[in-house]
Homo-oligomer: A and B are copies of this chain.
Amino acid sequence: MKESIQKAKILVEAFPYIKQWFGRTVVVKYGGSTRSGENELRNTLQDIVLMKFVGMKPVVVHGGGKDITRATEKLGFRSQFIDGLRVTDLPTMKVVEKILGGKINKQLVDLIHALGGRAVGLSGKDGAMLQASRVKSRSGKDIGFVGKVSKVNAAVLQSLDREKFIPVIAPLGLGKDGHAYNVNADEAAGAIAGALKAEKLVYLTDVPGICQKQKDPKSLLSTIKAKEVSMLIKKGIISGGMIPKAQSCLLALKQGVHKTHIIDGTLPHALLLEIFTPQGIGTEIIP
């Protein structure tokens, strides 16, 4: 009986959020570091399937850094570096495509199906979704097939949405030269969220969010305003891999995304709790 009352309370609390988010798009960047364990993977994808169940439109963008590194090493590639950046030559790019499009993407699609959802695996090249322009190293040298998102064409996503599929997207871009380009997954997620005018953009990471003192969860900054970001980068509070995430958040906010979140994806059901309970977790960056 007490348990019943407890259950009812949680549902009473959650239901208004369900109404609020109905039909809204949430782009989830699902980083490699949070996909390590089988359990974490299941929990996160289950949250995404449930979001779809209650009428939201989740869109998953995955990365693949570690797997790519492992694969190139296995094949005995010796990477060239310019200005500290690995050059993505044609053979490397072929491996990138196979790993992102042929392995990780397929694995996520499979698991979503196993959890009762319906997924469609895509790369940013499908339907010319992510158009990429070649980037150079800081010193202006060519570093191969590394791209920057220059335009997003969301028609494929919109068409799949009408049939209630969950799109799972590998961060590959289509160059003007017709070649595939490797695109930073954080940036891809932000650009897609912006093009879809998503309600939310959520980065699942393996840290609690942006902390005043690095890795000290007690110093977590719950809310950061967009205009404070550049100052926090300067102070070094936002640093390393958190920088492209924060910058993609800014860009997405500018294009009309309502809220962006950087949360700890290793907490069980972090996504569900962030979205359907009043106690937010992690850091939100707001306009």
Contacts and interface: CB of A to CB of B under 8 A. Distances in A.
Interface stretch (A25-33, A99-107, A142-150, A194-202): A99-107
Interface in A108-144: 109-111, 113-114, 116, 118-123, 125-128
A174 B120 CA distance: 12
Contacts of A7: 10, 273, 277
A203 interface: no
B12 A10 contact: no
Interface stretch (A158-166, A184-192, A249-257): A158-166
A106 B182 CA distance: 14
A122 B106 CA distance: 10
Contact of A163 (B4, B103, B159, B165): B159
A54 interface: yes
A236 interface: no
Interface stretch (A14-22, A77-85, A222-230): A14-22
A101 B106 CA distance: 8
Interface residues of A, number: 65
A103 B106 contact: no
Nearest to A46: B12
A12 B100 CA distance: 29
A102 to B, nearest CB: 2
Contacts of A152: none
Contacts of A54: 15, 18-19, 54
A124 B205 CA distance: 31
Contacts of A11: 10, 14, 50, 269, 272, 276
Nearest to A7: B10
B268 A178 contact: no
A65 interface: no
A180 B110 contact: yes
A5 interface: yes
Given A102-B101, A160-B159, A273-B8, A16 B113 contact: no
A19 B113 CA distance: 16
A243 to B, nearest CB: 29
Interface of A: 4-8, 10-12, 14-16, 18-19, 22, 46, 50, 53-55, 94, 97-103, 105-106, 109-111, 113-114, 116, 118-123, 125-128, 155-156, 158-160, 162-163, 165, 172, 174, 178-180, 267-269, 272-273, 276-277
28 contacts: A4-B267, A4-B269, A5-B268, A6-B6, A7-B277, A8-B268, A8-B269, A11-B272, A12-B50, A12-B269, A15-B54, A19-B53, A22-B55, A94-B103, A98-B98, A98-B103, A101-B106, A106-B125, A109-B126, A110-B179, A113-B125, A113-B178, A118-B128, A120-B126, A121-B126, A155-B163, A159-B160, A162-B162
